[in-house]
Amino acid sequence: MKDLKCVVWDLDETLWDGILLEGDDLQLKPSILEILSILDSRGILLSIASRNNFDQAMEKLKAFGIEHYFLYPEIGWGAKSVSIARIQKNLNIGMDTILYIDDQPFELDEVKLAHPSVTIIQAAKYQELTKMERLTPKMVTEVSNRRRQMYLEDQKRQSAEKEFIGPSQDFLASLNMEFKISLAKEEDLLRAEELTFRTNQLNSTGIHYSYDDLKHLVNSPNHHLWVCELTDKYGSYGKIGLALVEVQEDAWCIRLILMSCRTVSRGVGTVMLSFLMKEAKSAGKLLRADFHRTDRNRHMYMAYKFTNFIETQSNENRIVFENDLTVIQEYPPYLKIVTESIYSIEGGDVI
């Protein structure tokens, strides 16, 4: 079972005792403050799906001093399954990483029927949440601690994007984005491990690498482990992608490349790939790449094909691509690229 990324709460008789619309004297359930704080510090996202008046419910959450915990709260009169779908879309996470908690069996069933992969739990069991293994990530990194903050920055970006009239490339240019590629250092490895576990769409193999695996690879003379970081005028997205390259006699082989789905809409999906192509070419090598097909990573397959990688071996869902590097896609014009190049100084500032 996958780790859960988000807990969606019902309000009445779940988060608090009593019913807001009936004018009850509401009390948060015992230990709720502690539970919210623990989940938040683990990098678990929190949201709300409640049938209530939005302003009234938000006012109450503010009065309890907990409104800041909840991202994209869905408070209204629609079906809970629709609320969950909106939250899922806004957070851009898998349905199978969402847990929904409610006191009413009807609501739980309705959500389960519409979204079978959502985990549901009865409100009475709320004290068990912090003990659930799937809500206890194996690693808590700097990014986990800041995850809610980063989604809040995203919310700001999205509303700025909605207000921006004009072509989206002009909008992207207005963000002053800087994309920095560097060789991984030891302090990057926890986050790198986390990325291999959490990233599904732009992920070439889906192979999980542990901290120790990565530490070994960083010290291996036959491997390069690259990480990339994106910043814009709202702040840093943190380390959002990595590439593991094995140095072979005639070629570099990309054993894994992945980019966090949070930043794909920023048009940075293939920047790392372009960088590796430029580097390999400067080193006088071909570029090979492993691809393991999963039910989520067609986007990555397409990225390889569209950047002129040719399938040289194919065995069911395992493919080896090769690229002779005669054509290399340029970097997006709206991005400043900063690289720690080993071989080339082409196409970016060298640090």
* Residue 250: Cβ-neighbour burial (10 angstroms; 0-12, 13-18, 19+): exposed
Q: How far is the CB of 39 from other proteins (least distance, A)?
A: 30
The reply on whether position 343 binds other proteins by CB under 8 A is no
Nearer to other proteins, 264 or 338 (CB): 264
Q: How far is the CB of 304 from other proteins (least distance, A)?
A: 9
**Which residue carries 């060789």 as its tokens?**
183
Cα separation of 10 and 117, whole Å? 18
Cα separation of 287 and 24, whole Å? 66
DSSP E strands in 248-317: the ranges are: 251-259, 286-292, 310-315
> H or E element: which one contains 182?
strand 177-183
Nearer to other proteins, 252 or 304 (CB): 304
The site that binds other proteins (CB under 8 A) totals a number of residues, namely: 23
Q: Which of 2, 208, 305, 336 binds other proteins (CB under 8 A)?
A: 305
The reply on whether position 333 binds other proteins by CB under 8 A is yes
Amino acid in position 279? E
Backbone angles phi, psi at 14, to 5 degrees: -120, -65
The reply on whether position 241 binds other proteins by CB under 8 A is no
> H or E element: which one contains 88?
helix 80-91
The reply on whether position 206 binds other proteins by CB under 8 A is no
Considering only residues 167 through 196, tell me which ones interact with other proteins, judged by CB under 8 A: 167-170
The reply on whether position 264 binds other proteins by CB under 8 A is yes
Backbone angles phi, psi at 59, to 5 degrees: -60, -40
Which listed range, 114-122, 153-161, 165-173, 280-288, lies at the site for other proteins (CB under 8 A)?
165-173
Considering only residues 273 through 302, tell me which ones interact with other proteins, judged by CB under 8 A: 298-299, 301-302
x-or-dash string of contact with other proteins, 47-76, rule CB under 8 A: ------------------------------
324: helix, strand or coil = coil
- Sign of CA pseudo-dihedral 181, 185, 190, 193: positive
**Paired strand residues for 289:** 254, 321
Residue 339 to residues 27, 183, 203, 254, 292, Cα–Cα distance (Å): 53, 9, 21, 18, 28
Q: Which of 303, 325, 328, 337 binds other proteins (CB under 8 A)?
A: 303
Nearer to other proteins, 148 or 262 (CB): 262
Nearer to other proteins, 36 or 273 (CB): 273
**Which residue carries 């926890």 as its tokens?**
190
Considering only residues 307 through 326, tell me which ones interact with other proteins, judged by CB under 8 A: 308, 311
Contacts of 250 (CB under 8 A, 6+ apart): 285, 286
x-or-dash string of contact with other proteins, 83-122, rule CB under 8 A: ----------------------------------------
Nearer to other proteins, 9 or 331 (CB): 331
The reply on whether position 265 binds other proteins by CB under 8 A is yes
Q: How far is the CB of 16 from other proteins (least distance, A)?
A: 40
Cα separation of 237 and 172, whole Å? 15
Q: How far is the CB of 163 from other proteins (least distance, A)?
A: 17
**Paired strand residues for 273:** none
Residues that bind other proteins (CB under 8 A): 167-170, 202, 264-265, 267-270, 298-299, 301-303, 305-306, 308, 311, 330, 332-333
